[in-house]
């Protein structure tokens, strides 16, 4: 784990910033939260990962404020620069964010990545729009909030509003997300690093806008003809990013509160049967069952295993049907 304890030089800068703030050099726009965090740095308390990432982002936006201007009274910008821990803090936060990113990438294994597909009937959930430059763009929702999934093996699932907010903020300028057709890495439609894929979260869900190459005109036509009416996304969920509740029908509902990783989005021709990609969620469900009342858990867990076996059989039949269709 990365050591997120501020250095002695950072603490000195923060203390100097606090002195200037007390002397009235911070101006009227300084947020109380900045002062609170400066005290944490001055005391050399270990910082949170979010704090470190925010430091790196703040320094990148306020590079012009690092000018001391010793011949004049310190500017509010320079006072804020010191409160955020100064030049040493800027360099430290760059190193630490890179270290955190490496740790995060190493911790992700392929069997931890989940995929979910959504079939849409409303045309505004997956459509083609013309951009100002005349090029066509695919506009759709990779995920929709507060929409219950099909049965995933004894439980259902819903994604809560704001589940993508933190990961979208972290991935800007760092991790690449690709847009694929039919989960196929050989059919790339766009990617965030090249500016051909844009991701955002609104009241409805995770929205994507991708400008595909002209060679993918067939995908555009399939969407326009409504042959393709589904979207998918690949993601991971941390241990604190999920929970379970009891649904109106008595079955458990897995609630995804915060997505920890986002890897690909895009349209799909035939949304896959959910059981084919719900093994990670099933493990979470079984762990939740085990944490319930001892008397009820064994019986419910056994029912879950039966449901899972039955669902796998349906999934196999579904896959066989699709193969026959493609013969």
Q: What percent of the chain has pLDDT over 70?
A: 80
What the block records as the tokens of 111 is 């069997």
Give the containing element (helix H, strand E) for 47.
none
- Find where tokens 């910033």 sit: 17
What the block records as the tokens of 254 is 């897995």
Other Cβ atoms within 10 Å of 49 Cβ, number = 16
Do the beta carbons of residue 235 and residue 263 sit within 8 Å? yes
- Find where tokens 């002397």 sit: 23
Residue length, the chain? Answer: 327
What the block records as the tokens of 271 is 């949304």
pLDDT range class, residue 175, cuts 50, 70, 90: low
What span, in angstroms and rounded, lies between the C-alpha atoms of 53 and 100? 9
State residue 83's pLDDT score: 96
For 196-239, what is each residue's pLDDT tens digit? 999 999 999 999 999 999 999 999 999 999 999 889 899 989 87
For the packed helices 32-42 and 8-22, what is the interaxial angle rounded to 10 degrees?
140
Q: What percent of the chain has pLDDT over 90?
A: 45
């Amino acid at each position: 784990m990365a050591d997120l304890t501020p250095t002695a030089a950072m603490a000195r800068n923060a203390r100097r910033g606090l002195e200037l703030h007390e002397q009235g050099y911070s101006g009227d726009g300084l947020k109380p939260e900045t002062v609170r965090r400066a005290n944490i740095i001055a005391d050399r308390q270990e910082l949170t990962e979010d704090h470190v990432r925010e430091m790196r982002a703040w320094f990148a936006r306020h590079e012009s404020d690092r000018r001391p201007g010793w011949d004049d009274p310190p500017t509010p910008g320079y006072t804020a620069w010191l409160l955020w821990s100064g030049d040493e803090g800027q360099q430290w936060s760059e190193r630490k964010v890179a270290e955190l990113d490496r740790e995060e990438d190493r911790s992700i294994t392929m069997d931890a990545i989940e995929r979910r597909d959504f079939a849409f009937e409303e045309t505004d959930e997956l459509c083609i729009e013309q951009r100002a430059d005349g090029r066509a763009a695919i506009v759709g929702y990779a995920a929709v909030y507060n929409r219950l999934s099909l049965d995933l093996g004894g439980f259902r699932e819903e994604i809560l509003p704001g589940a993508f907010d933190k990961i979208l903020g972290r991935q800007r300028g760092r991790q690449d997300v690709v847009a694929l057709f039919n989960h196929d890495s050989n059919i790339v439609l766009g990617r965030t690093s090249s500016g051909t894929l844009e991701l955002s979260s609104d009241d409805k869900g995770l929205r994507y806008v991708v400008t595909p190459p002209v060679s993918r005109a067939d995908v555009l036509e399939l969407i326009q003809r409504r042959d393709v009416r589904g979207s998918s996304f690949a993601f991971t969920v941390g241990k604190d990013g999920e929970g379970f509740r009891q649904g109106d029908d008595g079955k458990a509902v897995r609630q995804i509160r915060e997505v920890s990783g986002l890897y690909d989005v895009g349209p799909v021709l035939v949304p896959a049967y959910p059981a084919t990609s719900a093994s990670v969620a099933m493990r979470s469900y079984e762990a939740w069952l085990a944490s319930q009342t001892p008397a009820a858990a064994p019986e419910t867990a056994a029912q879950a295993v039966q449901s899972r076996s039955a669902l796998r059989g349906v999934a196999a039949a579904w896959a066989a049907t699709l193969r026959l269709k493609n013969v």
